[in-house]
Structure 1
Amino acid sequence: MKFNPSFARREAEDGVSNNELAMTDLSTTLGRLTLKNPIMVASGTFGYAREMEGIVDIPRLGAVLPKTITAEPRIGNAPWRTVETSAGLLNAIGLDNDGVDAFLENHLPYLRTLETAVVVSVAGRTQDEFVSLAERIGNEAGVAAVELNLSCPNVSGGIDFGTDANSCRNVVEAARRSCKVPILAKLTPNVTRIADIAQAASDGGADAVCLINTVLGMAIDWRRRKPMLGNGMGGLSGPAIKPIALRCVHQVASAVNIPIIGIGGIATIDDVMQFLVAGASAIQIGTANYYDPTVSTRLVDQLPAALSELGATGVAEIVGTLGK
């Protein structure tokens, strides 16, 4: 998808000139990581990017995140793995992936060819696994940052590091020492005080925190009196969790001095702007990729005009300005 001149003309008719749109600074900074714009796609919803290249103009995105990588191959959970809800999607995929060796051999060479930042999501069963994965991935050419998935709710032990502040700080700190690229910590909302966990990630040296991963949920077939997901429970994503995600972003932005990447139910330019104003410096598109694969680039197109509505010429001007 290329720049849409008709969109620019419409905005010009609304009082925003093409020149003003072109001068808008869409770049954003996440600690040591700088992106050309704040629109990212979330791990697990964009494959390894190759699957989307015929649909999405990938170089126009701020960053892509391929599906989470583990040390060994994982076949994932038993079916059903996904269940639609009235306002979202329950999933219990179980981090199905081919493992780090296959990723380095089969997927990273392609990802290196993309003209945008590649952030690789990793998940470990132990602190040592997280550190080993971060070190291996972070020392590879073409990797802009490593996202530590501390918060997957549908694998055994998947949220342990994201629910205990000491564990979170220790794993982030150890990964930071071993990894030369920026570290992003993806956190779970399934805690009492998410600001405490975010502070721990910050204390450990995370360049940014990603808020939020899915919310633990369940679907039941009452006639069979059984859970619909093979795993019993899974992670709820989509529009249903956006208010929770906004709350978490606002709470963390008010308490912790670290950049935030907002995730949760984002599908429109209004959603994007709400997260930026609440305190996020970037956002990730997740569930919306499934039903509207071109949504991410459309949001890039729409962002300059939305910023102009607030009298802003750059993303940084509006981040965390809620109530100001």
Structure 2
Amino acid sequence: MPVRTDCTSVADCDSKLPLQGDAVTGAVESRVDLSTEIPGPAGPIRLAHPILPASGTFGYGEEFEPFVDPGVFAGIIGKSISRERRVGNPPPRTAETPAGMLNSIGLQNPGLAAFVESYLPRMAQYGVPVIVNIVGRTLEDYVELARALDVEPAVAGFELNVSCPNVKEGLQFGRDPGATRDLVAAVRAQTRLPLIAKLTPNVTDIGEQAIAAAEGGADCLSLVNTVMGMSVDWRTRRSRLGTATGGLSGPAIRPLALRMVWEASRAVSIPICGIGGITRPEHVLEFMVVGASTVQVGTHLFRDPACLTRWLGEIEAMLTEEGVQSIRDIVGTFVPPAPRVP
């Protein structure tokens, strides 16, 4: 049964994704060069193509094995890891919205020790680079996480979660350029592996945040994380989440994400990983045209976890039709309209 990938809500989709059946496996052999990389002081993370799963939407890979081979992605980015185990926010943790969803997971995770012992070894078996998303309540938490994980052979790089809207410390770091710069610099001192800073859209000037992260030593930026939002039941006068607010994701935020990726790409020279509302292969290329060299797919994986097994071939076909030999050639090629003459 074909699965629509252009839905703006569950209600407007003609078909549902089967929840049972064999896992889909295998990447597409490409005639177009889809490869890219994330730079780092000790050498880059080389990726077969530009598409990664967004942290928090793909578990640690194992959860999606019944539906897709996690190794079809260019790399694996698991849920955020903190020094100590976190139980997360109270339920309900998700709420559907027009063209998207709200979540308030609260960074539930097993903690550093359990991650290294039980989760990281399995992630390493997928045959693609493992990028560990780390989060902390204090700068020292991030430093200790980077120091501990830097010695793990399975770890290819880090993504710093300084932007989660569902916990106070996420916005505390993510909205303050000085705090962002200091945090990135502190982690940079602990590792020569590629370092990605994940930025929040809940700021007035994304370019300022991008510059701060780059000055701190980030090798790449990922943006955007979810947008602060609410969903309220007027009859009960209560939130539809277990918290008052949550993070909005899905197609609703794609125009905002495209704009912020474009603005960030004009502010810094380091690579950008675009995130926000990708539901079609064309959206991958849109993000790349405005300045992203890689992308992450998140919310869409909940309804179509095997989408990538089709998208790579479709992306290759679109690029071939346009005479593009390497996907890197389209990065940052957006041509803004000419200014109006008064």
Bin for the TM-score computed over the shorter chain: over 0.9
Out of 230, 233, 236, the position equivalent to 1:221 is 233
Question: Structure 1's 72 and 112: CA in aligned 2 closer, same or farther, altered over 3 A?
Answer: same
Correspondence for 1:198: 210
Q: Deviations over 1:84-120 (max 9, x none)?
A: 0011010000001111111011101111111111111
Which of 261, 273, 278 lines up with 1:249 in the alignment? 261
Equivalent residue letter for 1:28: T
Partners in 2 of 1:266 and 1:306 — Cα distance? 17
Pick the aligned partner of 1:156 from 161, 165, 168.
168
1:145-184 equivalences under 5 Å are: 145-184=157-196
Shift of 1:161: 1.2
234-243 vs 300-309, greater mean Cα deviation: 300-309
Alignment-derived partner of residue 301 in structure 2: 289
1:111 and 1:31 mapped to 2: Cα distance? 21
Could you list the per-position Cα deviations for residues 226-249 of structure 1 after superposition, in whole angstroms to 9, with x for gaps in the alignment? 122111100000000000100000
Partner of 2:30: 22
Deviates more, 1:104-113 or 1:301-310: 301-310
Conservation of the 8 A alpha-carbon contact between 1:285 and 1:296: no
The runs of 5 or more residues in structure 1 that have no matched partner are: 6-20
CA contact (8 A) 1:172 1:206 kept: yes
Give 2:319's aligned amino acid. Answer: L
Q: Secondary structure at the match of 1:157?
A: helix
- C-alpha deviations, 1:107-166, integer Å up to 9, x for none? 011111111111110101111111111121222111111100000000122221111111
Counterpart amino acid of residue 52 in structure 2:
M
Helix, strand or coil at the partner of 1:197? helix
* Aligned partner of residue 63 in structure 2, secondary structure: helix
Q: Look up the match of 2:312.
A: 300
Q: Is 1:237 the equivalent of 2:249?
A: yes
* TM-score of the superposed pair, with normalisation by structure 2: 0.87
Query: Which runs of 4 or more aligned residues in structure 1 lie more than 6 Å from their structure 2 counterparts after TM superposition?
Result: none
Equivalences for residues 97-116 of structure 1 within 5 A: 97-116=109-128
Deviation at 1:4, TM superposition (A): 8.6
Q: Is 1:79 the equivalent of 2:87?
A: no
The TM-score, its normalising length taken from structure 1, stands at: 0.92
Contact (CA 8 Å) 2:27, 2:309: kept in 1 or not? no
**Contact 2:26 / 2:69 at 8 angstroms: preserved in 1?**
no
Contact 1:66 1:120 in 2 (8 A): yes
**Pairwise CA distance, 1:3:** 5.7
Total equivalences in the alignment? 309
Shift of 1:207: 0.9
User: In 1, are the aligned partners of 2:195 and 2:218 still within 8 Å (CA)?
Assistant: yes
Unaligned runs of 5+ in 2: 1-23, 337-342
Conservation of the 8 A alpha-carbon contact between 1:30 and 1:260: no
The one-letter code sitting in structure 2 at the alignment partner of 1:315 is I
- The residue aligned with 2:323 is 311
Would the aligned equivalents of 1:39 and 1:299 in 2 still touch at CA under 8 Å? no
Looking at secondary structure, tell me which structure has more helix per residue: 1
SS in 1 for 2:189: helix
Corresponding residue of 2:12: none
Give the Cα–Cα distance (whole angstroms) in 1 for the partners of residues 231 and 185 of structure 2: 37
